[in-house]
């Protein structure tokens, strides 16, 4: 009998979930500043009657605890993924070069696996733009072998804007990028977009020297704001959301093979 697997990506602002097989079209619940969603969400999960849950969480510990209690109360097997020294399956091996592999955020590890699933056979720069921006380098070593080399973390676009809004004169709605901003609003917007794109470009050029060819996989809630500026500077950008769920799906399929 086929097992029904529920995949969960619990982030700082939103929770995404899908059944294995439908991971590219997930459901999304914004949980930040929202306390009224749990009953409806748990009722949906109960109706799905999953046999097991595979999840990734690096934020919202109270919600993670609540969900875990729900699964326990209904005898649903669950596992919150942690980063590994290596992920090895018949079609993919990803090794971590992190000094302490367990210290790497599980979302970054899952996103790396998801990016490989979305664009196999390439050295990749995996960019997630949310509350924080993470830019991680994955080198293709040939065949099905990859190495997670490491990455960069910086404030995301919204966090950058909020930090500047501590100064009243810098408050205002975002506008378009300008080569030579003629207003304070445009100066703030342009500065943020250039900071985000520059972070990615620097990481891209560094990995390019190592790998010879690099593709950029871009994801996250803030990606759509930065994407036009980034595409103006880098040629190989692929917008692919739900990388964490894709990575969870890869791990779930591997576990099914072992059972």
Residues belonging to the active site:
107
| Beta carbons of 152 and 199 less than 8 angstroms apart | yes
Show which of 80, 112, 138 is a domain's final residue: 80
d(CA 16, CA 30): 9
**H/E stretch holding 230:** helix 223-233
SS3 88: strand
As given in the structure block, the two tokens for residue 231 are 């595409």
Residue 258 pLDDT greater than 90, yes or no: no
Query: How does residue 1 score in pLDDT terms, banded at 50, 70 and 90?
Result: very low
User: 147 - beta bridge partners?
Assistant: 95, 139
**3-class DSSP state of 81:** coil
Q: What is the pLDDT of residue 222?
A: 92
pLDDT band with cut points at 50, 70 and 90 for residue 236:
confident
The rounded distance, in Å, linking the Cα atoms of 194 and 143 is 36
pLDDT at 211 over 50: yes
Domain membership of residue 258 (yes or no) is no
| Mean pLDDT for the stretch of residues 30-58 | 88
Whether the pLDDT of residue 256 is over 80: the answer is: no
Contact in structure between 14 and 245 (CB atoms under 8 Å): no
Residue 259 has pLDDT above 60, yes or no: no
* More confident of the two residues 32 and 22: 22
For range 162-176, the mean pLDDT:
94
Position 143 scores a pLDDT of: 96
Name the domain count of the chain.
2
DSSP string, 174-227: -----SS--SHHHHHHHHHHHHHHHHHHHHHHHHHHHHS--EEEEESTTHHHHH
pLDDT at 257 over 60: no
Does residue 102 fall inside a structural domain? yes
At 168 the pLDDT is: 94
pLDDT at 37 over 90: no
Q: Can you give the pTM of this predicted structure?
A: 0.92
In a domain, residue 256? The reply is no
How far is Cα 259 from Cα 92, in angstroms, rounded to an integer? 18
The 10s digit of each residue's pLDDT in 113-135 is 999 999 999 999 999 998 899 99
Q: Are residues 9 and 28 in the same domain?
A: yes
Contact residues for 146 (Cβ-Cβ < 8 A; gap 6+): 92, 93, 94, 95, 112, 116, 138, 139, 140
Kindly report the CATH number assigned to the domain that includes residue 117: 3.30.420.40
Report the pLDDT averaged over residues 60-73: 92
SS (H, E, C) 145-173: EEEEEEEEEEECHHHHHHHHCCCHHHCCC
Domain-located, residue 217: yes
Task: Show the domain range for 118.
Answer: 86-247
How confident is the prediction for the chain on average, in pLDDT?
93
Clarify whether residues 210 and 137 are in a common domain.
yes
Asked if residue 66 and residue 41 are part of one domain, the reply reads yes
Residue 246 pLDDT > 50: yes
257 in any annotated domain:
no
Q: Give the residue among 256, 252, 238, 246 at the shortest CA–CA distance from 25.
A: 246
Greater model confidence, 139 or 258? 139
Residue 259 included in any domain: no
Residue 26 lies in a domain: yes
- Let me know how many helices (H) and strands (E) the chain has, helices first: 7, 12
**pLDDT on residue 14:** 87
The answer to whether residues 174 and 98 belong to one domain is: yes
Beta-bridge partners for 7: 18, 54
What does the alpha-carbon distance between residue 89 and residue 123 come to, in Å, rounded to a whole number?
A: 19
Return the structure tokens found at 50.
Answer: 């999953």
């Amino acid at each position: 009998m086929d097992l029904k697997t529920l995949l969960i990506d619990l982030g700082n602002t939103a929770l995404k979930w899908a059944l294995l097989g439908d991971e590219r079209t997930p459901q999304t619940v914004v949980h930040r500043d929202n306390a009224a969603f749990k009953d409806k969400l748990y009722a949906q999960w109960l109706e799905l009657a999953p046999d097991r849950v595979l999840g990734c969480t690096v934020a919202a510990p109270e919600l993670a605890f609540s969900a875990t209690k729900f699964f326990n109360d209904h005898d649903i097997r669950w596992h919150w993924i942690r980063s590994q020294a290596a992920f090895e399956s018949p079609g993919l091996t990803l090794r971590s070069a992190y000094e302490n592999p367990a210290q790497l955020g599980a979302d970054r590890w899952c996103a790396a696996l998801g990016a490989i699933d979305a664009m196999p056979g390439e050295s990749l720069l995996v960019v997630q733009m949310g509350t924080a921006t993470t830019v991680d380098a994955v080198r293709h070593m040939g065949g099905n072998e990859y190495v997670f080399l490491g990455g960069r973390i910086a404030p995301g676009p919204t966090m950058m804007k909020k930090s500047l809004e501590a100064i009243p004169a810098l408050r205002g709605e975002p506008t378009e990028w300008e080569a030579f901003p003629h207003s304070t609003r445009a100066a703030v917007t342009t500065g943020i977009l250039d900071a985000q794109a520059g972070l990615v470009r620097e990481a891209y050029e560094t990995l390019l020297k190592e790998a010879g060819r690099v593709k950029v996989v871009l994801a996250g809630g803030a990606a759509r704001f930065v994407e036009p500026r980034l595409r103006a500077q880098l040629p190989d950008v692929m917008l692919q959301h739900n990388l964490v769920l894709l990575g969870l799906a890869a791990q779930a399929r591997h576990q099914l093979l072992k059972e």
